[in-house]
Structure 1
Amino acid sequence: MSKSDAMKIIHSGIASSKPENFIKKYVSKNLLRCGTRSFAVSDYGNIWIVAMGKAADTMTKSIAKIIPIAGGIVVIPKNYAPVIRNKKFQIVRAGHPTPDSGSVFAGKTIRAFLKNTSCKDLVVFLVSGGTSSLVCAPEGVTLEQKIKTSRILLESGASINEINAIRKHISAVKGGKILDSLCCTAISYVMSDVVNNDLGSIGSGIVFCDKTTFSDCIGIVKKYGLEKKLPKSVLSRLRLGAMGKISETPKKPKIPNQIIAQNSDCLDAMRTTAKKLGYSTLVYPKLTGDVELAAKKILKKFNAQNNTCVIFGGETTVKVRGNGKGGRNQELVLRMISQLPTKTLVASLGTDGIDGNTKNAGAIFDHPVSRNLIKQYLENNDSNSFFAKHGGLITTKPTHSNLLDIGLILKKL
């Protein structure tokens, strides 16, 4: 029964992350609200969409139901089947979590599109998680060097804010640079996939600006011992920038940006569902940092009383040491199950439906196991193989959304 309850709570969190739940709060038939400003539909000749990220197609579909859209560009992961079929939207498929030639094509296509807009038009940017990889324009480095850099950063244990800081400083479009091609009025609606909702980090601040510096990037490289791992061209560019020999990223936003959805929206929905099912709830938001430490933090919040549900959300990091299959959510669950009391369940998954280098969203497990049993799986970062053997994998397929990770610990009578 507790597993059934857990899945109901989890599914309510995923359902709440759909863009259609949020777009309508900011867009009506005659008006678009963004930040402190309002934009009348009737004031513009054409309204165009430039959508980027894992929720690009669903965000586009939601807004196109409300106001007339002339057309636009929608950039999605190459393994996605788009939910929109209208020919007025150019669908661009690109690489994720590492960029590819499709990502470079997306960057070129968007810049060319923006240059061809009329001063009487309005461009609505729709930004969601995954944009950093999906839209790419390497600057001072090659695509191959940027791909290598992305992979090294993703496996280093660095936070998404730290990863995106370096991404912005080796890019010609991130950190607001893409707006150099803009010829008309524009606004941006953003679904946050970072814990602190930093607009400069979501999608590497592609239509915002950048508060980080080349010097910050050098600090990140040293923090994770990447001096001998990153391509020489990347290190050279960062060092030249830190010496003031390369122009910094834009430091002031050019257009209004509005965060329309965040992880706490999912946690609120989960809490409501858990209460309806009769559970006493505690919400632990903004879970970050190393996955091992994160597991300990959550377990400390759990009081092991019957009918208790601890709900958590955020994004942990994993230092990749082995060559197994897994993701931060599956590893989080695996690290917790050896310390669970009886009749207790733990689950964690990504709201985008993808966890790490697997086809699963996360994992759910409801009985304790010995530390010896899980030790070898953890050492090889092979959490997926454990759950494939012992059960517990959660599979949702891509959700066309992304509001970080969600999870829970549940104890039933």
Structure 2
Amino acid sequence: MQILNAGIKSTMPANFVSKFVKKNCLICANRTYKISDYDHIWLVAMGKAADTMAKSVHSIINSAGGLVIIPKNHVTQFHNKKFQTIKAGHPTPNKNSVHAAKKIISFLQNTGKSDLVIFLVSGGSSALVCAPFGIGLSQKIAITKTLLASGASISEINAIRKHLSAIKGGRLLESLQCPAISYVMSDVVGDDLGSIGSGITYCDKSTFSECLGIISKYKLAQKIPRIALKMLQNGVAGKIPETPKRPKIPNQIIATNSDCLGIMAKKAKSLGYCTKIYSGVSGDVRLAVKRILQKTNLKKNNCLIFGGETTVRLAGNGKGGRNQELVLHMISNLKQNAIVASVGTDGIDGNTKHAGAMFDRKISKHITKPYLQNNDSSLFFKKFGGLITTGPTHSNLLDVGLVLL
């Protein structure tokens, strides 16, 4: 647990914000912005780390105030009368997500020309800030649920989200009245700014045509609302303008999953383990497990640190998440006993209140098979032990895990 704890603690914004935010200036995309050049500095923070990001930045520059959008189940870590906190829906949007979008647009429209807005973006923003385009909120919720259950990657999910949104893919910036910069924590494998938070302060490299390709790939044409499919088809036909293809403001990624893995590896080495890192874990969880096992050194005193984000195609109606399912697949395929763990750095795994799981021995496939068939990994670990519960961490840098011998 010492190694996992080191990784989770390293995700807190206070550990890296000061590299980019100084008392007298801001560093973003290789440019320096003097704070004295602006009448007011405003913060607009959104995502699972919105409150801790805003708290860290405000503690350094004492901004004029702003907005903080966090998940509805979070207890805010930032209390300041200059800021309005809005709790919205996640992983699917709700009415407060729409309210948050409207509030941000209004806020941006009322800034002064000599002000500066600092956007603080982290994972979860896609659901927390929602402005459906051409469809209603109920349709947007239905599409989100269908996509999340399909096995599609977050980049594929966000491509469709962007093309059915009035603010994502950089469209939010149409409301800007002053200069702005954006600091981003990456919750996407590959750190694509166009996918993190659905590129809300960036732009969009995906197209309507690619969205239809994703619908076809996962056979979703009959599962999503017809009006949404029609919107995408109209986009391909040129009846709806494409999303912005060039960024309007500078965006700076300030933390990634790789940063996390580096801290974990350092801790493992300090404990005497021969350590190796495997980053960029992605795709179907079953295939990801095979790749992780191939990377694992089965000799004693070895530690494999891995990180990324897998996908799970839901076939059952059980309780679990990609981290718990990954560990369950792993222990079903181990050739010898080992400690296996995987957690979400945001503290939430799938449809449970747990962050992930840890187990210390191999288990026969005939025992794990029914749990995996029903996507009920959480029930397995509840019965046999191994659930890891942290509560919301107010951060998000993908998932981290280890194999320890």
Into which bin does the TM-score normalised by the smaller protein fall? over 0.9
Alignment of 1:133-282 (within 5 A): 133-282=127-276
Deviation at 1:343? 3.9
2 CA distance for matches of 1:64 and 1:245?
Answer: 44
The aligned counterpart of 1:311 is 305
Deviation at 1:342? 3.7
AA partner of residue 16 (structure 2): F
2 CA distance for matches of 1:308 and 1:338?
Answer: 20
The aligned counterpart of 2:294 is 300
The aligned counterpart of 2:397 is 403
Q: Deviations over 1:74-122 (max 9, x none)?
A: 0000000001111110001100000000100000000000000000100
2 CA distance for matches of 1:269 and 1:68?
Answer: 30
1 CA distance for matches of 2:227 and 2:100?
Answer: 23
Deviation at 1:338? 1.8
Question: In the alignment, is residue 355 of structure 1 matched against residue 353 of structure 2?
Answer: no
The aligned counterpart of 2:92 is 98
Question: In the alignment, is residue 77 of structure 1 matched against residue 68 of structure 2?
Answer: no
TM-score by length of 1: 0.97
2 CA distance for matches of 1:144 and 1:121?
Answer: 36
AA partner of residue 151 (structure 1): K
1 CA distance for matches of 2:65 and 2:26?
Answer: 17
1 CA distance for matches of 2:326 and 2:338?
Answer: 15
2 CA distance for matches of 1:367 and 1:18?
Answer: 31
Q: Among residues 110, 115, 136, which one is paired with 1:121 in the alignment?
A: 115
Q: Among residues 383, 390, 395, which one is paired with 2:384 in the alignment?
A: 390
1 CA distance for matches of 2:169 and 2:345?
Answer: 25
2 CA distance for matches of 1:81 and 1:303?
Answer: 41
**Secondary structure in 2 aligned to 1:175?**
coil
Deviation at 1:303? 2.1
TM-score by length of 2: 0.99
2 CA distance for matches of 1:14 and 1:184?
Answer: 36
Q: Deviations over 1:244-299 (max 9, x none)?
A: 00000001100000000000011000000000000001110000000000011101
2 CA distance for matches of 1:383 and 1:67?
Answer: 45
1 CA distance for matches of 2:121 and 2:399?
Answer: 18
Deviation at 1:325? 0.3
Deviation at 1:340? 2.0
1 CA distance for matches of 2:335 and 2:3?
Answer: 21
AA partner of residue 75 (structure 1): I
2 CA distance for matches of 1:171 and 1:124?
Answer: 22
AA partner of residue 283 (structure 1): I
Cα-Cα RMSD:
0.6
**Secondary structure in 2 aligned to 1:66?**
helix
Number of residue pairs the alignment of both structures matches: 405
AA partner of residue 131 (structure 1): S
The aligned counterpart of 2:13 is 19
2 CA distance for matches of 1:288 and 1:102?
Answer: 31
AA partner of residue 402 (structure 1): N
Which runs of 5 or more structure 2 residues have no equivalent in the other structure? none
Tell me the percent identity.
Answer: 63
- Whether the aligned pair in 1 keeps the contact of 2:297 and 2:304 (CA below 8 Å) is no
Deviation at 1:341? 3.8
Deviation at 1:382? 0.3
Deviation at 1:369? 1.1
- Whether the aligned pair in 1 keeps the contact of 2:173 and 2:248 (CA below 8 Å) is yes
2 CA distance for matches of 1:120 and 1:303?
Answer: 57
1 CA distance for matches of 2:138 and 2:55?
Answer: 33
Which runs of 5 or more structure 1 residues have no equivalent in the other structure? 1-6
1 CA distance for matches of 2:98 and 2:325?
Answer: 32
The aligned counterpart of 2:105 is 111
Q: Among residues 52, 56, 74, which one is paired with 2:50 in the alignment?
A: 56
Q: Deviations over 1:288-325 (max 9, x none)?
A: 00000001110111121000000100000000010000
AA partner of residue 297 (structure 1): R
- Whether the aligned pair in 1 keeps the contact of 2:317 and 2:375 (CA below 8 Å) is yes
AA partner of residue 320 (structure 2): G
Q: Among residues 278, 283, 287, which one is paired with 1:284 in the alignment?
A: 278
Deviation at 1:36? 2.0
Deviation at 1:339? 2.2
1 CA distance for matches of 2:21 and 2:251?
Answer: 14
AA partner of residue 111 (structure 1): I
Deviation at 1:367? 1.3
The aligned counterpart of 2:329 is 335
2 CA distance for matches of 1:122 and 1:349?
Answer: 37
The aligned counterpart of 1:4 is none
2 CA distance for matches of 1:344 and 1:365?
Answer: 8
1 CA distance for matches of 2:91 and 2:333?
Answer: 32
Q: Among residues 51, 59, 63, which one is paired with 1:65 in the alignment?
A: 59
| Range that drifts further, 304-313 or 332-341 | 332-341
- Whether the aligned pair in 1 keeps the contact of 2:162 and 2:243 (CA below 8 Å) is yes
Deviation at 1:358? 0.1
The aligned counterpart of 1:3 is none
AA partner of residue 97 (structure 2): S
